[in-house]
C-alpha cells in the first residue's frame, strides 16, 4: 500500500545524463492480500497429577560433612516443592540449600 514517484537517469559509455526525468503520476504498489490468522491454542491440560520421575533414595550422612539429596517430580500444573525434616518444613534455614 505504498505510493512512489520514480526518477530515471540515462547512462551510456559517455556518461550520465544531466537531468533526470520524473514520473508525473505516482505508482501505488499494492500489498499482497495476506490475511492474518489468529493462532489456535489448545486448552491447557490440568489433568496430570504430580508423580516422581526419579525417586528419593536412602542416603547416609556423616556428621560434619555435606549430604546431597536428589529427586525429580513432574505434574501439570507445576507442583510446589516443599522439603521437610522431621515433619517440619525447611524454610529460610542457612544450613540447607534447596533448588527446584
pLDDT in tens, the chain (100 residues): 688 888 999 999 888 888 888 888 888 877 777 777 888 888 776 778 899 999 988 888 899 898 888 889 988 888 888 888 888 888 888 888 887 7
Q: How far is CA 83 from the centre of its chain?
A: 29
Residue 27's domain spans which residues? 1-33
Q: Per the domain annotation, does 22 fall within a domain?
A: yes
pTM: 0.45
Identify whether residues 29 and 52 lie together within a single domain.
no
Identify whether residues 25 and 52 lie together within a single domain.
no
Number of domains forming the structure of the chain:
2
How many contiguous H segments (helices) and E segments (strands) does the chain have? 0, 10
Give the integer Cα–Cα distance in Å for 58 and 99. 19
Residues with Cβ within 8 Å of residue 74, at least 6 apart in sequence: 48, 50, 51, 53
Q: Per the domain annotation, does 19 fall within a domain?
A: yes
Q: Per the domain annotation, does 78 fall within a domain?
A: yes
Amino acid at each position: 500500500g505504498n505510493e512512489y514517484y520514480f526518477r530515471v537517469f540515462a547512462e551510456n559509455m559517455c556518461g550520465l545524463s544531466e537531468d533526470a526525468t520524473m514520473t508525473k503520476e505516482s505508482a501505488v504498489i499494492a500489498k499482497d492480500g495476506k490475511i492474518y490468522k489468529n493462532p489456535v491454542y489448545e486448552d491447557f491440560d490440568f489433568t496430570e497429577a504430580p508423580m516422581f520421575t526419579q525417586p528419593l533414595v536412602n542416603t547416609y550422612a556423616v556428621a560434619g560433612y555435606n549430604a546431597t539429596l536428589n529427586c525429580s517430580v513432574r505434574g501439570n500444573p507445576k507442583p510446589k516443592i516443599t522439603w521437610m525434616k522431621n515433619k517440619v518444613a525447611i524454610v529460610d534455614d542457612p544450613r540447607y540449600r534447596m533448588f527446584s
